[in-house]
């Protein structure tokens, strides 16, 4: 969960999000080094009066500033491609949940169960209880087991939506007539908040997502009570 004045990402809750955070730090360090080098060279050019008559004809310098950027791009591209393939990989999911975007709420269906589905609406500000978060609480949370691979099937019934939960590294577009899929796995229990991340109309800001990740035995009790 994000907090006021936060500058960085939310704490990672899934292995994919941990990889994304490591890749962000890796890329940011490269950008910082390049920016420092450019600033140093500019400061030297503005302060020193020394000149070199053959600088414009230096083959060695041209070789270096051609090869070095290529090496830097490779150092960025290889980890990026690795994470992309990891995000697309689906390893025998233990549970499948289908989520449909509507104007302006989400509906969920646990496809492994015969009749387990519900709609999830935002709780109005006037009905919030003490300690609940404005514009983020819903009347029906998505309860899922932790430490298990879960497949999310995402689509829409009207306009474009986007099902996003930052702490899990999830953001999947909900497109009418198309079924997108993503996987999630939480390494610890807790409440994880997200919102629709695609402008979908006047109430776009009022489509929160709340995932409640619990141990398997609690999930089994909850699913039995819902049937």
Question: Is residue 200 part of an annotated ligand binding site?
Answer: yes
Q: Indicate which CATH number applies to the domain containing 72.
A: 1.10.287.90
Provide Rg for the chain, Cα atoms: 24
Mean pLDDT on 17-40: 94
Same-domain status, 219 and 111: yes
pTM, to two decimals: 0.83
98/176 Cα distance (integer angstroms): 14
Residue after which a domain boundary falls, among 86, 117, 136: 86
Q: What is the DSSP letter of 205?
A: G
What confidence score (pLDDT) does residue 46 get? 84
pLDDT at res. 107:
95
Is 146 part of a structural domain of the chain? Answer: yes
Q: Is 122 within any annotated ligand binding site?
A: no
**Average pLDDT value over all residues in the chain:** 90
Give domain status of residue 5, yes or no: no
Mean pLDDT value across residues 100-106 = 93
Please name the helix (run of DSSP H) or strand (run of DSSP E) that holds residue 214, with its range, or none.
strand 208-214
198 is in an annotated binding site: yes
Residue ending a domain, among 62, 86, 110, is 86
**Residue 173: pLDDT above 70?**
yes
**Domain final position from 55, 86, 117:** 86
Instruction: Summarize pLDDT for 60-101 with one digit per residue, the tens.
Output: 878 888 899 999 999 999 999 999 998 888 778 899 999 999
Separation CA 161–CA 226 (nearest Å): 27
* Residue 170 predicted with pLDDT over 80: yes
Q: Is 196 annotated as a binding-site member? A: yes
| Assigned token pair, 130 | 């003490």
- Indicate the SS3 state at residue 160: coil
* pLDDT (mean) for 6-21: 90
Asked whether the beta carbons of 127 and 139 are under 8 A apart, the reply is no
**Domain count across the chain:** 2
Q: Rounded distance, CA 212 to CA 109, Å?
A: 15
Helix, strand, coil percent values for the chain (each to nearest 5): 40, 25, 35
Query: Considering the domain boundaries, does residue 60 fall inside one?
Result: yes
Cα gap 200→204, rounded to integer Å = 5
DSSP codes joined into one string, 161-184: EEEEEGGGTEEEEE-BT--EEEEE
Q: Whole domain around residue 180: which residue ranges? A: 93-224
Summarize pLDDT for 137-158 with one digit per residue, the tens.
999 999 999 999 999 999 999 9
DSSP state of 138: B
The arithmetic mean of pLDDT across residues 180-203, rounded, is: 92
Q: Any known ligand binding at 204?
A: yes
Q: Are residues 202 and 137 in the same domain?
A: yes
CA-to-CA distance for 75 and 158, rounded, in angstroms? 41
Residue-wise pLDDT for 29-66, tens only, equals 999 999 999 999 889 888 887 766 666 667 787 888 88
């Amino acid at each position: 969960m994000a907090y006021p004045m936060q500058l960085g990402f939310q704490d990672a809750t899934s292995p994919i999000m941990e990889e994304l955070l490591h890749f962000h730090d890796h890329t940011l360090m490269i950008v910082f080094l390049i920016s420092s080098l450019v600033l140093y060279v500019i400061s030297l050019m503005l302060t020193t009066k020394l000149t070199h008559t053959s600088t414009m004809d230096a083959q060695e310098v041209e070789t270096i500033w051609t090869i070095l950027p290529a090496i830097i791009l490779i150092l960025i591209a290889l980890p990026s491609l690795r994470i992309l393939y990891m995000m697309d990989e689906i390893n025998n999911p233990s549970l499948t949940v289908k989520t449909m975007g509507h104007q302006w709420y989400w509906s969920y269906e646990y496809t492994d169960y015969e009749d387990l589905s519900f709609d999830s609406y935002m709780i109005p500000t006037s009905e919030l209880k003490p300690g609940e978060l404005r514009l983020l609480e819903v009347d029906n949370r998505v309860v899922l087991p932790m430490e298990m691979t879960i497949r999310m099937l995402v689509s829409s019934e009207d306009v474009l939506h986007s099902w996003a939960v930052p702490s899990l590294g999830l953001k999947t577009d909900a497109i009418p007539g198309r079924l997108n899929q993503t996987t999630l796995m939480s390494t610890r229990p807790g409440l994880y908040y997200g919102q629709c991340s695609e402008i979908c109309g006047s109430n776009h800001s009022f489509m929160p997502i709340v995932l409640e990740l619990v141990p398997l035995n609690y999930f089994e009790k909850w699913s039995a009570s819902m049937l």
